[in-house]
Amino acid sequence: MYKEKIEKWGLFEWSGEGYSEGNSFRDYDIKAVIKSSDEEKCVRGFYDGDGIYKVRFMPSFEGKYEFRIEGSFSDKVSTGSFEVTAPAGNNRGPVGVCDTYHFKYADGTPYYSIGTTCYVWELQSDELIEKTFKSLEDAGFNKIRFCVFPKHYDFNLREPRSYPYVGTPVDSSGITSENFQDYTGRTDGNDWDLYRFNPEHFRHIERCIARLADMGIEADIIVFHPYDRWGFSMMSGDQDIFYIDYLIRRFSAFRNVWWSMANEYDLFERKNLADWETIGSYFMKNDPYGHLRSIHNCKEFYDHSRSWITHCSIQRQDVYRTAENTDEWRDKYKKPVVLDEISYEGDIQHGWGNISAEEMVRRFWETAMRGGYPGHGETYYDKDDILWWSHGGELHGESWKRFKFLLRILKETRGHGLKSDNSDWKNWDSVMAVPEDDAKFKETGYRIFYYSFMRPSFRIFDMEDNIKYRAEVIDTWNMTVTDAGVHSGRFRIDLPGRQYMAVRLVAQN
Amino acid sequence: MYKEKIEKWGLFEWSGEGYSEGNSFRDYDIKAVIKSSDEEKCVRGFYDGDGIYKVRFMPSFEGKYEFRIEGSFSDKVSTGSFEVTAPAGNNRGPVGVCDTYHFKYADGTPYYSIGTTCYVWELQSDELIEKTFKSLEDAGFNKIRFCVFPKHYDFNLREPRSYPYVGTPVDSSGITSENFQDYTGRTDGNDWDLYRFNPEHFRHIERCIARLADMGIEADIIVFHPYDRWGFSMMSGDQDIFYIDYLIRRFSAFRNVWWSMANEYDLFERKNLADWETIGSYFMKNDPYGHLRSIHNCKEFYDHSRSWITHCSIQRQDVYRTAENTDEWRDKYKKPVVLDEISYEGDIQHGWGNISAEEMVRRFWETAMRGGYPGHGETYYDKDDILWWSHGGELHGESWKRFKFLLRILKETRGHGLKSDNSDWKNWDSVMAVPEDDAKFKETGYRIFYYSFMRPSFRIFDMEDNIKYRAEVIDTWNMTVTDAGVHSGRFRIDLPGRQYMAVRLVAQN
């Protein structure tokens, strides 16, 4: 059973019946060889419950493909073919690293990551999930970071819509905001078969991933996280591999999948660096499509120079200075820098969750102008404990309204991305963003000067005498771009003496 | 000629005629031995022009003093006596270091420095100087940092009211905001006798210092600075010593004098570290009263652990993070940390001169709560180029209105000063300020939790079960202290979810 026509970078799925005696998740295998004139891949399938086995594949070329499926799940061999057509809509293929510090879609379009975090949005009610989709669309986010496992934490005390395993969870009736920490990192009271998945948990997540793909949103999947009362953060190495292998078999054919090995890897009681190396390397070796891979810290940075890590996924280490360190981290790791947690806009009691919208937007611009990629989050106190940061739903803040504008500015960048250029001491007090491969654009000049919380009422520029620059004043908060004339050599640009302003100079041909 | 009655820490001044052939500044000497039953000091006098020599002395005890004045300036020896009475008004004696990181007046009163910078306010017109005095009073500053030498810089192109030396300055008629840098660090075009002072220049500064003393304001005198078109930053070592010796003889008997060797010592073309060591050590050796001594950086910090340095006078090195480094600098130098430049509230084009009032006040609190002492400055663009930062005059900003309130909170501190306490991880996201000698106050608990730009809508406190704390919510921007009840053990304090809030807990006896 399969569709005979799919898009390039779309999802080919075959399903068929097989043996269901014993534990089909563990006892039987299924794999496929799929080939066209341009590629040939061997992919492994998975058991989806109810006697049904599936194989998924993401083709990277147009044209005719043939497949051959076999394995211990059945004594039959299945063969067939399908046609791969041109991509359409938001389908630009999976995102990969480009020019060391940046990203692009497989079709070559630059990808400027403007992400958000909603840890378990997809494990909420259908109604809330629908609200989240709407909010994602309104804000224009193009990446969302979330967990496969449910979350246990302050404001996260309810049961999720489903569990990834068959069994019964610990009784949560006595857990409150006051005592939830006593339950963190416990396994007792739970009764799971950690070799028997609950397929509906994964099917539901897949429906969410697919819908995100349709919307042009990357799904940054957090494989493990420590905010846990069910023991999923405390599994054995064998159980971990059993789980991540299932994830790879099920999810990797979705073009918009990114793998985040962990949220806050350094808070796990029962995992050490060797465990994380095993997990990260397993993804690198077994994901047939080489989706982006990262690991996220609480306090201590992981060594992002490890070969299985494709990009840095960073949580701030300093209460005050984070976005401003983007240059340093680029230099250190020579990989794209994604600041997946730079604090949350909100007003909750926790110090990581109550910065202003202005400060959030400022951190976005600081990061983006330095050639990094910022991540949003929101934690406004809510009487029903529905906080965007974990549950999605509606956005209550002010920062999210300003990201489409930043994305527009980034899309107008020349080349594949920006970097900051500190070579001119006169700009010590601002971020001068230039194209990553500036040498290529030297003749055609492109500069954004970002002034952050500083409030100059004018600035003097010393540019080339022989290049005419179109000057624009950008108000990053009010989202306006105002023409400020064409200039050469030394000239003055007036500014309103407010925070969060920038000046863009673009050479005129 | 002298007054027979002066206050303790007041200024005793003797004046008399002497030889005026040749160069009286250099060719004759005058010194005095002054003693009471409690102290005996040998102090040196100075030539004040017009054939008049003077000797100044600051007594540190009450009671009867006798003096004997002699030297090559005259063939007569003068003797006499005077009576020292109790200090009155704002006279609490000179400020010195206390408890390693803090300051106190000689009478034991804690001194919490809330300073400002007006580089050459005293070299402006009488009218402008009067405005400055009024502004200083309105704002409640208790320290002002300023130069003896005139300043040449953007917005500082006019001639000062007087020059320190006899001679003629470079013609300034062609200097503009555009080309002023071409004149910086030049000596040509000037014609000075660098061994012949203009006494009126110093007399005028002394009148300003004395009036500051009456107002209870410390005069942080900048001895050298590099923003110069007259060559005063380029003098020889011998000329430097000749000058600083004159400063010591004239100024050191004013109780409110502090010596700042330089503004931005690292920008001088013709001075190296050995020169600064010579200058600083000279003050240490020759100032009879041991006034506070510091040296201020532009980019590179001086080694503030040098023995002649009594406290750190710091200019931020980082655009983003300065006040937050107070703890680090305290630990490193084991001296009081005075952040004399943490950027200026304003809207000028230069990146050091355009932060918001909110950010300035935030930096003040961040510094103060960490046991350092912040310094204000203001640079609002003005059509007549009158900027507080250099010229004094009126204050146009919003931050200055909020420093008396901070000073009030500091004065309510238990003990001699605050420090931050990071021992409790639950406060990683706030500054918990405690008394410097907290051990002494453990039984009577005193805590300020400062939340900076964070906006918690409530906080949970875990305090001792057996101590009753009076809780107050402090709005550092709106300058309110609101009672939040008496609590023990674990309790919750509601906050308005705005920036710049603090909670103070004071144990009730």
B165-221 per-position pLDDT tens digit:
999 999 999 999 889 988 988 889 999 999 999 999 999 999 999 999 999 999 999
In whole numbers, what is the pLDDT of chain A averaged over residues? Answer: 96
- Terminal Cα-to-Cα distance of chain B (whole angstroms): 56
Mention every residue, 6+ apart, whose C-beta is less than 8 A from residue A6: A12, A59, A82, A83, A84, A85
Distance from CA of B327 to the nearest CA of A (A): 14
DSSP class of residue B170?
P
CB contact under 8 A, B455 and A321: no
Q: Is A354 on the interface with B (CB under 8 A)?
A: yes
Q: Is A426 on the interface with B (CB under 8 A)?
A: no
Closest chain B residue to the Cα of A363, Cα to Cα: B320
Q: Is A501 on the interface with B (CB under 8 A)?
A: no
Q: Is B397 on the interface with A (CB under 8 A)?
A: no
CB contact under 8 A, A348 and B321: no
Query: DSSP 3-state assignment of A63?
Result: strand
Percent helix, percent strand, percent coil in chain A, to nearest 5: 25, 30, 45
Q: Give the count of Cβ contacts less than 8 A between chain A and B.
A: 88
Query: DSSP 3-state assignment of B147?
Result: strand
Closest chain A residue to the Cα of B451, Cα to Cα: A351
pLDDT value, residue B441: 67
Q: Which two tokens stand for residue A25?
A: 């998740």
Q: Which two tokens stand for residue A193?
A: 């078969």
Instruction: Report the C-alpha gap between A332 and A326 in whole angstroms.
Output: 10
pLDDT value, residue B424: 80
Distance from CA of A341 to the nearest CA of B (A): 15
CB contact under 8 A, A456 and B349: yes
CB contact under 8 A, B355 and A453: yes
Best to test chain B binding among A179, A299, A315, A319 (most B CBs inside 10 Å): A319
Mention every residue, 6+ apart, whose C-beta is less than 8 A from residue A377: A116, A117, A341, A343, A344, A345, A353, A388, A389
What single letter denotes the amino acid at residue B43?
V
pLDDT value, residue B423: 82
Q: Is B325 on the interface with A (CB under 8 A)?
A: no
The bridge status of strand A345-346 relative to strand B378-379 is unpaired
Contacts of B430 in chain A (CB under 8 A): 351
Whether this model's ipTM surpasses 0.90 comes out as yes
Distance from CA of B324 to the nearest CA of A (A): 8
Instruction: Report the C-alpha gap between A132 and B378 in whole angstroms.
Output: 46
Helices (H) and strands (E) in chain B, counts: 10, 31
Instruction: Report the C-alpha gap between A364 and B358 in whole angstroms.
Output: 21
Best to test chain B binding among A316, A452, A455, A493 (most B CBs inside 10 Å): A455
Instruction: Report the C-alpha gap between B359 and B378 in whole angstroms.
Output: 12
pLDDT value, residue B443: 66
What radius of gyration do chain A's Cα atoms show? 24
Q: Is B358 on the interface with A (CB under 8 A)?
A: no
Query: DSSP 3-state assignment of A509?
Result: coil
Instruction: Report the C-alpha gap between B100 and B310 in whole angstroms.
Output: 10
CB contact under 8 A, A356 and B455: yes
Task: Give me the residue from A350, A428, A457 closest to B348, CB to CB.
Answer: A457
CB contact under 8 A, B455 and A354: yes
CB contact under 8 A, A381 and B347: no
CB contact under 8 A, A354 and B456: yes
Instruction: Report the C-alpha gap between A265 and A263 in whole angstroms.
Output: 6
Best to test chain B binding among A320, A367, A462, A492 (most B CBs inside 10 Å): A320
CB contact under 8 A, A324 and B320: yes
CB atoms near residue B85 (< 10 Å): 13
Best to test chain B binding among A180, A354, A358, A503 (most B CBs inside 10 Å): A354
φ/ψ (deg, to 5) at B23: -110, 100
Q: Is A317 on the interface with B (CB under 8 A)?
A: no
Closest chain A residue to the Cα of B359, Cα to Cα: A453
| Residue labelled with tokens 């068959």 | A166
Closest chain A residue to the Cα of B450, Cα to Cα: A351
Strand partners, A7: A85
Please, are residues B52 and B73 in contact by the beta-carbon 8 Å criterion? no
Distance from CA of B495 to the nearest CA of A (A): 9
Best to test chain A binding among B176, B325, B354 (most A CBs inside 10 Å): B354
Please, are residues B446 and B417 in contact by the beta-carbon 8 Å criterion? no
pLDDT value, residue A211: 98
| Whether the predicted pLDDT of A440 surpasses 80 | no
Per-residue pLDDT of chain B (509 residues; tens, 9 = 90+): 889 999 999 999 999 999 999 999 999 999 999 999 999 999 999 999 999 999 999 999 999 999 999 999 999 999 999 999 999 999 999 999 999 999 999 999 999 999 999 999 999 999 999 999 999 999 999 999 999 999 999 999 999 999 999 999 999 999 998 899 889 888 899 999 999 999 999 999 999 999 999 999 999 999 999 999 999 999 999 999 999 999 999 999 999 999 999 999 999 999 999 999 999 999 999 999 999 999 999 989 999 999 999 999 999 888 899 999 999 999 999 999 999 999 999 999 999 999 999 999 999 999 999 999 999 999 999 999 999 999 999 999 999 999 999 999 999 988 889 999 988 877 888 999 999 988 776 667 899 999 999 999 999 999 999 999 999 999 999 999 999 999 999 999 999 999 999 999 999 97
pLDDT value, residue A317: 82
Q: Is A460 on the interface with B (CB under 8 A)?
A: yes
Confidence band of A443 (pLDDT split at 50, 70, 90): low
- Predicted model pTM: 0.95
Please, are residues A33 and A68 in contact by the beta-carbon 8 Å criterion? yes
Contacts of B455 in chain A (CB under 8 A): 346-347, 354-356
CB contact under 8 A, A348 and B454: no
Per residue in A161-189, pLDDT (tens digit) is 999 999 999 999 999 988 998 898 888 99
Handedness of CA B182, B185, B186, B192 (dihedral sign): positive
Q: Is A397 on the interface with B (CB under 8 A)?
A: no
Distance from CA of A446 to the nearest CA of B (A): 22
Instruction: Report the C-alpha gap between B400 and B377 in whole angstroms.
Output: 9
Per residue in A26-66, pLDDT (tens digit) is 999 999 999 999 999 999 999 999 999 999 999 999 999 99
Nearest to A119 by CA among A400, A349, A340, A398: A340
Which strand (E) or helix (H) includes residue B144?
Answer: strand B143-147
Give the orientation angle of helix B126-139 with respect to helix B199-215, to 10 degrees: 20
Query: DSSP 3-state assignment of B87?
Result: coil
Provide mean pLDDT across the span A301-313.
Answer: 97
Among residues 469-498 of chain B, which lie with CB inside 8 Å of chain A? Answer: 497
Percent of residues, chain A, with pLDDT higher than 70? 99
- Terminal Cα-to-Cα distance of chain A (whole angstroms): 56
Please, are residues B171 and B158 in contact by the beta-carbon 8 Å criterion? no
Contacts of B352 in chain A (CB under 8 A): 429
pLDDT value, residue A442: 66
Contacts of B350 in chain A (CB under 8 A): 429, 456
Please, are residues A311 and A337 in contact by the beta-carbon 8 Å criterion? yes
Q: Which two tokens stand for residue B189?
A: 């075009």
